Structure 1
Amino acid sequence: MAIPWVWLYETSLVILVVGTLVLAGFIVTLPRTYNLQFSEEITKDDFTTADKEDAERSGYANFEKLKNVKGALRIKATVQVVVLGDIGRSPRMQYHALSLARYGGKVQLIGYVESELHPDVKASRLIEVIPISPFPKWLQTNNRLLFLALAPLKVLWQVASLYYTLGYGTKACGWMLVQNPPSIPTLAVAQWMCLLRDTRLVVDWHNFGYSILALRLGAKHPLVRIARWYEGFFSRSAYAHFAVTNAMCNVLRYEWQINALPLHDRPPNHFQPLTRAQCSEFLSKLPETSQYAIDIQKGAWRLLISSTSWTPDEDFSVLLDALVKYSQQVSNLQGKPKILAIITGKGPQKEHYLSLIKRLNQENKLQNVVILTAWLSSDDYASLLGSADLGVSLHTSSSGVDLPMKVVDMFGTGLPVAGWSKFEAWPELVHEGLNGRGFDSADGLANILHELFGDDGSQLKKLKQGALRECDRRWDDEWLPVAGKLFRLKV
């Protein structure tokens, strides 16, 4: 039976009208664009009494120094700093936000708020923290098959929550600084939003998202290849790029014709060397170290610190195997110090390794080693590093061209480092025998512990002197000539 033309005409007309209304509604509700002519200012009234009492952290001191004759401070740059992850575990992006606020910018710091933020970020009146709704925890898994099944749902959730937050939960800014990775869906959503709002996009490359995905799925998996194409395609048209190493800049230029500015991680000001008296006081009051404080000060015990995110790109078994070997050596040799190893951080594999540590203790394989875990405030973590004898980095680098920021923090307190060195970018940070030592196996780390803790202390002292020299150049010293210049900020 033929379809009546009248019915077809009416149906088409309804579809056209509905489609037009939907499109019109979409256009009308599009996020507002950034107005280049709009100049934002802050005045004394924007600061509370508490802000004025905590003038350095709140930004009030800077306001008083830079305000004009009318008693107002003209904002030089408005910037959205975007992390599709836990802001508290993204120190570099927090440091970006603090530097922007310190030198005349106003910041919307956008991401998941799951752990404690840097105290200066919370105190600053020029930084607004805007949370993104996280993917429900009951849908998260480490199982590979379930991961593949839930991945599309997670991406859809992230697209919706990030799009809503950037488009409707925030005011338009002149700049958007995005952490990469994660790349999917951050880069696509950020590009689209910047196009709609007339915002300049800057990508801060910490690593490559596809290389991290390859740790779970394998380098030749189709999803990894798609992720690699996606990452290059959606990042190429950004206004500017930062990268954490020179090696990463070279890869970006060769692979995707992206000219990134090298912006190396450097320690912020709250990571400082401690005096012997300060170390003694801190170790005595910290619950994890209080009962060992006197022996650490005497040298009968050595304090070893490692910070980890408990993820596959940090093989914590390397440190466990090395500590087992060291414990055996101490049993066979007289006068060798014992080790108190404190591991800080949170992550998915923590419980797995805690069970391994428990089993090693039950088997009496750690008789001369005590391993404790801790989650500390930013200030306590800095003091712990400043009180330790050696820092250990297990970061293996999925790409080979990123670097662990934890080593930078350790150098900020003058703490020498032993780290996994079997990747290209490692020599950009650690100079062998001068400020640290590199290893590529558990035996290699065990030998380093034996050499540094087993002699008269001269080797460890030499490394510490080299680490102290790394304190001279701080985060703002690196940030201002690169990022400060890009965002058109001046001291």
Structure 2
Amino acid sequence: MAASCVAVLLTSLSLPLLLLVAYKRWRRGRAARHVMVVVLGDVGRSPRMQYHALSLAKGGFSVTLLGFCNSKPHDELLQNDRIQIVSLPELQRLAVGPHIFQYGVKVVFQAVHLLWKLMCWEPAAYIFLQNPPGLPAIAICWFVGCLCGSKLVTDWHNYGYSILGLGHGPRHCLVLLAKWYEKICGRLSHLNLCVTNAMREDLAENWGIRDALGPATPALREAGPNLLCIQGPLRTLGPGLGEVSLHGARCSERDGDTSWRAASPFEDEDFSILLAALEKFEQLILDGENLPSLVCVITGKGPLKEYYSRLIDQKCFQHIQVCTPWLEAEDYPLLLGSADLGVCLHKSSSGLDLPMKVVDMFGCCLPVCALDFQCLHELVKHEENGLVFEDSEELAAQLQMLFSKFPDPAGKLNQFRKNLQESEQLRWDESWKQTVLPLVMDM
């Protein structure tokens, strides 16, 4: 009798799901030109996923973009009638219980809500997912794809477990669990996109995602692998993270939310490097060096912004002015376009990603000084489109050299800018159309 009751209960619970799956599969033929783009983060601060949505819309797809709506996406996205943005609720951390319990509750909440949104929305031929954060999104998107016949495309920006390890250390149980999950579920995608050759190679060698494809070119597409490396975009949609843009006589310093962090071995951007370099630059002026004054613009909303604002005030700079506004997406390229030098403090938690801030700067033909890490050379060419530094001493020396004869038409800054203007790198739209679109259509 008990077994019969359990069977009836399970049948009652599963029947609506089976009917929903059957209905969505029936409708899938009518939704072959619909794509879900999933960001388990702030849509306004996820430029690559905004680019994907726009490119898909230009390719004739209708796009539903799911994510947190904490900051405004670019106007081009909002004004496109082929793109619909669906807000996901963001559960704030609980104030009770151990950290692992709080994290578990958040993951379960996100999993249930994302599953509900994906199942109840119009069926999609493809699901584009940003990773990180991939926990729990990868498994949920794959599960929905299995039920509804959708193909999963994962865009690897970095590894989520390595970012989690910044705050907990690499051997923490949460970090090890996240790594196991990411490694297992990361193999479920039909197509994988990544930002660097280094990440492509690491995914192939250590994660079992084989048949890797190098930097996107039309000729390489014929190999038919499932892993594509795209290094766009080379146009600016909105605020990046952790960058600095310097002007001679005026300095425009741009730093995003993640830059407002205390310096520690587990942080991926050490803002104190810049402050120390600016102090050295100021002292050179006070010692009689013929250097211009600087105006620095730092943007961001991170939790340590107030801390660093007080620290900057304590410096009492005489020849360096620091401003800390928050810019909308439309104003960001104007800032970069008016700057003379960009400075990137991004370290990379995995050493395998590329700083989008530098890509945005290069899109505005802005040379950079960038903090060195493993695969930075794939983007920043030392002495060609910018300079690479190791610490505040080296950064200060580079600033001194670059601005010692400012504004000199024959100086390195102008040469770097000229090299960027003359480079033949594909812009995002051309690269996406030649590489991603054909692979999507062939799946």
Same fold (TM over 0.5): yes
Query: Contact (CA 8 Å) 1:36, 1:174: kept in 2 or not?
Result: no
Aligned partner letter, 2:235:
P
CA distance in 1 between counterparts of 2:376 and 2:395 reads 16
Deviation at 1:377, TM superposition (A): 1.9
The 5 A counterparts of 1:340-351 are 340-351=295-306
CA distance in 2 between counterparts of 1:470 and 1:158 reads 43
Alpha-carbon deviations, 1:292-347, whole Å to 9, x = none? Answer: xxxx7xx5334444445335321111111111111111111243111111112332
CA distance in 1 between counterparts of 2:38 and 2:275 reads 36
Q: Given the superposition, is the C-alpha separation of residues 343 and 480 from structure 1 closer, same or farther in structure 2, using an over 3 Å criterion? A: same
Aligned partner letter, 2:15:
A
Q: Given the superposition, is the C-alpha separation of residues 302 and 237 from structure 1 closer, same or farther in structure 2, using an over 3 Å criterion? A: closer
Match in the other structure for 2:107: 155
CA distance in 2 between counterparts of 1:84 and 1:431 reads 33
User: Residue 346 of structure 2 aligns to a residue in which SS?
Assistant: coil
Match in the other structure for 2:250: 301
Aligned partner letter, 1:196:
L
Match in the other structure for 1:46: none
Q: Given the superposition, is the C-alpha separation of residues 35 and 470 from structure 1 closer, same or farther in structure 2, using an over 3 Å criterion? A: farther
User: Residue 152 of structure 2 aligns to a residue in which SS?
Assistant: strand
Q: 2:352 aligns with which of 398, 401, 412?
A: 401
CA distance in 1 between counterparts of 2:425 and 2:152 reads 32
User: Residue 29 of structure 2 aligns to a residue in which SS?
Assistant: coil
CA distance in 2 between counterparts of 1:132 and 1:332 reads 55
Query: Contact (CA 8 Å) 2:354, 2:375: kept in 1 or not?
Result: yes
Match in the other structure for 2:292: 337
Query: Contact (CA 8 Å) 1:116, 1:377: kept in 2 or not?
Result: yes
Q: How many residues align?
A: 410
Is 1:239 the counterpart of 2:239? The answer is no
Is 1:22 the counterpart of 2:13? The answer is yes
Query: Contact (CA 8 Å) 1:83, 1:110: kept in 2 or not?
Result: yes
Query: Contact (CA 8 Å) 1:121, 1:127: kept in 2 or not?
Result: yes
CA distance in 1 between counterparts of 2:95 and 2:342 reads 32
Deviation at 1:255, TM superposition (A): 0.8
Q: Given the superposition, is the C-alpha separation of residues 448 and 380 from structure 1 closer, same or farther in structure 2, using an over 3 Å criterion? A: same
User: Residue 62 of structure 2 aligns to a residue in which SS?
Assistant: strand
CA distance in 2 between counterparts of 1:34 and 1:326 reads 64
Is 1:426 the counterpart of 2:376? The answer is yes
CA distance in 1 between counterparts of 2:86 and 2:302 reads 23
Alpha-carbon deviations, 1:61-81, whole Å to 9, x = none? Answer: xxxxxxxxxxxxxxx732111
Aligned partner letter, 1:430:
V
Query: Contact (CA 8 Å) 1:430, 1:436: kept in 2 or not?
Result: yes
Query: Contact (CA 8 Å) 1:34, 1:173: kept in 2 or not?
Result: no
Aligned partner letter, 1:459:
K
Match in the other structure for 1:164: 116
Q: 1:104 aligns with which of 60, 77, 88?
A: 60
Q: Given the superposition, is the C-alpha separation of residues 140 and 453 from structure 1 closer, same or farther in structure 2, using an over 3 Å criterion? A: farther
Match in the other structure for 1:327: 282
Unaligned runs of 5+ in 1: 1-8, 41-75, 272-295
Aligned partner letter, 2:268:
D
Q: Given the superposition, is the C-alpha separation of residues 455 and 313 from structure 1 closer, same or farther in structure 2, using an over 3 Å criterion? A: same
Q: Given the superposition, is the C-alpha separation of residues 341 and 158 from structure 1 closer, same or farther in structure 2, using an over 3 Å criterion? A: same
Calculate the TM-score normalised by the size of structure 2. Answer: 0.86
Deviation at 1:181, TM superposition (A): 0.4
Match in the other structure for 2:217: none
The 5 A counterparts of 1:351-390 are 351-360=306-315, 364=316, 366-390=317-341
Match in the other structure for 1:437: 387
Q: 2:272 aligns with which of 314, 317, 324?
A: 317
**Higher radius of gyration, 1 or 2:** 1
User: Residue 24 of structure 2 aligns to a residue in which SS?
Assistant: coil
Match in the other structure for 2:216: none
Is 1:198 the counterpart of 2:154? The answer is no
Q: Which deviates the most, 22-31 or 121-130?
A: 22-31
Is 1:484 the counterpart of 2:437? The answer is yes
Deviation at 1:102, TM superposition (A): 0.9
Match in the other structure for 1:4: none
Query: Contact (CA 8 Å) 2:35, 2:61: kept in 1 or not?
Result: yes
Match in the other structure for 2:243: none
CA distance in 2 between counterparts of 1:159 and 1:31 reads 22
Aligned partner letter, 2:64:
Q
Unaligned runs of 5+ in 2: 213-226, 239-246, 262-266
Is 1:114 the counterpart of 2:70? The answer is yes
Alpha-carbon deviations, 1:228-254, whole Å to 9, x = none? Answer: 111011120211100011111000000
Is 1:174 the counterpart of 2:125? The answer is yes
Is 1:450 the counterpart of 2:417? The answer is no
CA distance in 2 between counterparts of 1:153 and 1:380 reads 38
Q: 1:77 aligns with which of 7, 27, 33?
A: 33
After superposition, the CA RMSD in angstroms is: 2.4
Aligned partner letter, 1:300:
A
Aligned partner letter, 2:164:
L
User: Residue 257 of structure 1 aligns to a residue in which SS?
Assistant: coil
User: Residue 324 of structure 2 aligns to a residue in which SS?
Assistant: strand
User: Residue 398 of structure 2 aligns to a residue in which SS?
Assistant: helix
Deviation at 1:470, TM superposition (A): 4.4
Deviation at 1:32, TM superposition (A): 4.2
Aligned partner letter, 1:325:
K
Match in the other structure for 2:221: none
CA distance in 1 between counterparts of 2:251 and 2:307 reads 26
Match in the other structure for 1:134: 90
